[in-house]
Structure 1
Amino acid sequence: MELSSVYQFNVMDYGAAGNGTNSDTAAVQAAIDACAAAGGGTVYVPPGRYLIGTVCLRSNLTLHLEQGSVLIASTDKDEYRFVTVYEQCVNTTVQTGNLYGKDISNFRITGNGEIDGADKAFWTRKETVGESWNSVPIYYWPKEWRPMGIMLEGCSNVHIEAVTIRSSPLYSGWLIDCQRIQLRGLQILNDFHGPNTDGFHFSSCRDVHIADCHFLTGDDSIAIDADGISKAENYTITNCTFNTSVNCFRIFTGLDPWFTVGSYNEVRNISISNCSVSNAAGFLNVTADNGLIEGITVSNVTLTMEQEGTPIFIMTNKGTVRHVIVSNMTAKSNGTCVIIGQPGDSIDDIVLSNILFDVAAKRKAFGIDIPDDIQGYAYHHFVPYNLYFRYAGRIRLHQVAVHWLDTELQESWSALKCREIERIDIDGFSGIHAGEDSEMPALHFANVKEAWITRTRALPGTKVFLQVEGTETRDIHLSDNDLMHAGQPVKTAMDVRAEAICERGNRTW
């Protein structure tokens, strides 16, 4: 079978030069439009370097990037189409991209070719690099405008497979109010020190499947929000690898920097599994700002963190997070898990199961404690080293272990600190205080209204196993624990009633 009978529309037949110096925007667009006019088919991009601005995608066709083909972002602003997105929402913004589709369906990008965003052409190198908002310095300032690699709004039945997206000056992909999306076998290779060199953002998208992808990013690798016109729901993400200066996953409502009006949104039903992380500042960052996030499961993760941060960060600000399960994780990191709400918010039914944290603490602004007045989601870079829970409903820990590695820090802190918690269940926990302060408890409770601690062993060197304080503390149950290595099993403050502590079946000698 001849090539022309397989690929009906070859961009070279429409005047594409493919030399990387002349504009190929019009030729690629002409091939796409001809394919769409014929009722659909395949647009073929042969090996070569194609300089493009904005190319508008159409329904019922495949854009096939042959191995050796590269779509390169033009720096000519006149080659781009700037569009208003979120037009039906209270907050709108204007953006542009190289491959743009609106209200299209049944579209594929396939092949082993590349999309090259020519990142540094849209940035200015900083003269000096000082402290950054996170631990990885950003080397560049963005110029007045910069394109995204792929930008889709209101699209359905979209498949993107096998291609490489590299050197993005902004997000590699932004999908808004789309449904039935599949990403498979992608290589996302962006600048680790670039400004906003995220992987893919999904805003109010539904029925999304991501598998077998690799992400190298200078910001969040995968972001999921509900800032469009509908809920964000039903995601499966599996068998992916990550190397990022910020988060592997950021799941949020609100927070986008152009927002001028607060809005209530919902994100639900996200399953993440079988992922490996070679470097990150965090794995899972969940932040509900005036919205609802529920139904997140994470399983089978291996994680290494070099940047300051914490593997698991859950936060609310006038929002709700509930029904989150993280299980079967090993993390070599400089933090563990931080769950912090605000008075009147709702964080409920959070489960951590079969997790091992090996923690080499690095100095952070709030490594010991964090202010009540939380400024924003970026605090995950600065939050405490230990398991730190505040203003939450029910939290369950099952077979969670914290092991402190060597550090140059002189401070001491507990393995677990809980404040203003409705209920916490702890089963099979392993952890001791960090630092030289022998009076520091392994577990520290303040105003915990109900707790069950079972089948937990006080490690050798434990002076105080559990310290409780606060007038709201009550119903603290310890049963079937091995506390023989604790110099003092429970230390109770003067403001805690004696009947608040119930001990049964513990080994203390």
Structure 2
Amino acid sequence: MRQTLLLCLTLTASAATAQTYSIKTYGAVADGKTLSTTAIQKAIDACHRAGGGTVDVPTGTYLTGTISLKSNVNLHLETGAVLLGSPNINDYRAYTLPKYPEYGTNHYGILYTEKAENVALTGLGTIDGNDPAYFDPTRAKKIDTVTTRYTRQKNNYRRVASGIGDGPWEPREPRPRQMVIFAGCKNVQLRDISLLRSPFWTLHFSDCDAVNVTGIRLWSSLLAPNADGIDVTSSSNVTIANCDIRAGDDAIAITGYDHHFEIPGFSGQRHISENINVTNCNLQSYSSGIRIGFLDQNTVRNVHVSNVNITNSTRGIGIFLRDEGSLEDMTFDNITIETHLRTGDWWGNGEPIHISAIRGKENVKLGRIKNLKFNNITCRGENGILLYGTPESVIEDVTFSGLTFEVLPSKLNDVAGGNVDLRGVIGAKNQIFARDIPAFLAEHVKNLTINDFKLDWGSARAPFLTNGLEVNRFDNLRISNFRGTGAPGNAQARPILLQDGRGAVVEDAKKEDVKRVSVR
């Protein structure tokens, strides 16, 4: 009898510490019209005060502005439950940037959580950013003529034949920023949730540790600018698995912002991003499927991407060094990539893989890209693979093993083909510029290894297509088992062109297939 009583008391105590709080109990109304922000926040606060548990969002549509999770709280959205973002910008919490007053007043999105531990967002329900309230679908953002002046097409670059083409939509400002953000949090879990129609970045982890995102559906409109999928900034020990991400901007972005970059949610300290795994995901983006690095950048390291499909994207994998800090120790295994040219103001120009290291800021010591490994990569793309280092930041220790690439013809070649897009750099000539396009181009590289590369030009016959594999200004290069030719229809194109380098070893190739110019 005494043992039974003790067991009952234990179960009662356990239930008391893991209670469920329905947002309806606190006044939330499931009509999609009544603003329920206060009621939802009351439920979260009550759960937190009691030591934690689950805040339940029952089936129905609840209009909301900005809410915040607290430690030990799981916000659970039942099947058919929708948190719908308000179309009124004043329903979202406002903030300003003291160091950047020119940015004016900004607003958080639907869920802003700061310095919390053991927080979760789960269930088969939906968070809907209500993007139609913040875009004009009849108008497209256009690239300015200063940016396009060095392209092959000049003012006709990415010209749209009719309508708005590939967008992107013109934003209606102000609009809410990150739809869901966790800042300075530890032990964050997202499972099964749907995140839809974000008007800006969709899911952002800033200065977080121990993050697990599993099985979510994240669909922003492919025509919505700045509507990234998942952004991981200055965070460590992150896993993104089994997700379907379709985003107007980068599907997954991994960066390590430094102390120069200030928005609420960033600690202001020099945090790196490290120990990040992305696996078993399907990605689409009108920018990059996966982007690593960029401006205001600290080190990113130990990133591992495996078993990923990147389709219908403008870039596949993009690795960008523009600032101090390094991008290092990364592997990419078993990845399928499909890329296309676009009209409109999207970054990227159809490259399946883009790796570049070129200055984007003055008065910093430019970092390095080093130790990257690509294994079993299958590409289909409307532009070439690009490795673009510079004399002050040579790309080092890159290995490709098991690379298949089919070059695709493009209906947009006349308005977008034959260009390299390095935007985010210093100097107008370095932004987007005309260049003949090899299938694989590498410049300013050290210790580059390409093993087992199969190239197929298919029906691609654009006049700007050139060599199969071109490597310029290199130090220690090894190529083995390359199966491909120069571009068909171009009499000057060679299977392999090597220029201005030293230490080149080419195996399993006919002597006449390799042209060497000033190679030592």
For the superposition of Structure 1 and Structure 2, which TM-score range results when normalised by the shorter chain? 0.7 to 0.9
Kept in 2, the 8 Å contact 1:253–1:267? The answer is: no
SS of corresponding position for 2:41: helix
SS of corresponding position for 2:70: coil
What is the aligned partner in structure 2 of residue 487 from structure 1? none
Q: Does 1:321 align with 2:372?
A: no
Structure 1, 431-440 or 441-450: larger mean CA deviation: 431-440
What is the aligned partner in structure 2 of residue 33 from structure 1? 45
Q: CA deviation at 1:7?
A: 5.2
Q: Show the 5 A alignment for 1:6-405.
A: 8-83=20-95, 95-127=107-139, 136-228=166-258, 229=269, 230-254=271-295, 265-291=298-324, 292-307=326-341, 308-317=349-358, 318-362=366-410, 363=413, 367=418, 384-405=437-458
Whole-angstrom distance in 2 between the partners of 1:265 and 1:128: 33
Question: 1:239/1:335 Cα in 2 relative to 1: closer, same or farther (>3 Å)?
Answer: same
Q: CA deviation at 1:392?
A: 1.5
Q: CA deviation at 1:361?
A: 4.1
RMSD: 3.0
Q: CA deviation at 1:381?
A: 12
Kept in 2, the 8 Å contact 1:426–1:454? The answer is: yes
Whole-angstrom distance in 2 between the partners of 1:208 and 1:368: 35
What amino acid is the match of 2:185? C
- Deviation per CA, 1:454-503, whole angstroms, max 9, x where unpaired? 12358xxxxx4122223xx20xxxxxxxxxxxxxxxxxxxxxxxxxxxxx
Whole-angstrom distance in 2 between the partners of 1:374 and 1:367: 20
Whole-angstrom distance in 1 between the partners of 2:38 and 2:140: 40
How many positions carry a matched residue from both structures?
Answer: 455
Question: 1:129/1:172 Cα in 2 relative to 1: closer, same or farther (>3 Å)?
Answer: closer
SS of corresponding position for 2:284: strand
Whole-angstrom distance in 2 between the partners of 1:319 and 1:82: 35
What amino acid is the match of 1:112? L
What amino acid is the match of 1:330? T
What is the aligned partner in structure 2 of residue 448 from structure 1? 501
Whole-angstrom distance in 2 between the partners of 1:311 and 1:123: 29
- Deviation per CA, 1:22-68, whole angstroms, max 9, x where unpaired? 10000000000000111111100000111111001100110000001
TM, length-normalised to structure 1? 0.83
What amino acid is the match of 2:499? A
What is the aligned partner in structure 2 of residue 491 from structure 1? none
What is the aligned partner in structure 2 of residue 480 from structure 1? none
Q: CA deviation at 1:205?
A: 0.6
Question: 1:128/1:84 Cα in 2 relative to 1: closer, same or farther (>3 Å)?
Answer: closer
Whole-angstrom distance in 1 between the partners of 2:419 and 2:502: 23
Whole-angstrom distance in 2 between the partners of 1:166 and 1:219: 14
Whole-angstrom distance in 1 between the partners of 2:354 and 2:210: 28
What amino acid is the match of 1:269? N
> Identity across aligned pairs (percent)?
26
Question: 1:343/1:92 Cα in 2 relative to 1: closer, same or farther (>3 Å)?
Answer: farther
Question: 1:59/1:194 Cα in 2 relative to 1: closer, same or farther (>3 Å)?
Answer: same
Whole-angstrom distance in 2 between the partners of 1:211 and 1:86: 37
- Deviation per CA, 1:240-270, whole angstroms, max 9, x where unpaired? 001221211000042xxxxxxxx55100000
Whole-angstrom distance in 1 between the partners of 2:37 and 2:235: 28
- Deviation per CA, 1:291-335, whole angstroms, max 9, x where unpaired? 310011001112222334111111112331000011101112123
What amino acid is the match of 2:181? M
Q: CA deviation at 1:370?
A: 8.1
SS of corresponding position for 1:148: coil
Structure 1, 44-53 or 400-409: larger mean CA deviation: 400-409
Kept in 2, the 8 Å contact 1:253–1:266? The answer is: no
Question: 1:361/1:172 Cα in 2 relative to 1: closer, same or farther (>3 Å)?
Answer: same
Whole-angstrom distance in 1 between the partners of 2:56 and 2:416: 52
Whole-angstrom distance in 1 between the partners of 2:452 and 2:417: 27
What amino acid is the match of 2:483? S
Question: 1:7/1:112 Cα in 2 relative to 1: closer, same or farther (>3 Å)?
Answer: farther
Q: Which runs of 5+ in 1 are unaligned?
A: 255-262, 459-463, 475-509
Whole-angstrom distance in 1 between the partners of 2:29 and 2:279: 39
What is the aligned partner in structure 1 of residue 471 from structure 2? 418
What is the aligned partner in structure 2 of residue 465 from structure 1? 513
Q: CA deviation at 1:128?
A: 5.9
Q: CA deviation at 1:277?
A: 2.5
Kept in 1, the 8 Å contact 2:140–2:167? The answer is: no
What amino acid is the match of 1:442? P
Whole-angstrom distance in 2 between the partners of 1:350 and 1:382: 23
- Deviation per CA, 1:161-204, whole angstroms, max 9, x where unpaired? 10000111111111111110010000011111111121011110
Whole-angstrom distance in 2 between the partners of 1:321 and 1:128: 35
Whole-angstrom distance in 2 between the partners of 1:295 and 1:393: 15
Whole-angstrom distance in 1 between the partners of 2:434 and 2:66: 36
Q: Identify the structure with bigger relative contact order (alpha carbons < 8 Å, sequence gap 6+).
A: 2
What is the aligned partner in structure 2 of residue 478 from structure 1? none
TM, length-normalised to structure 2? 0.81
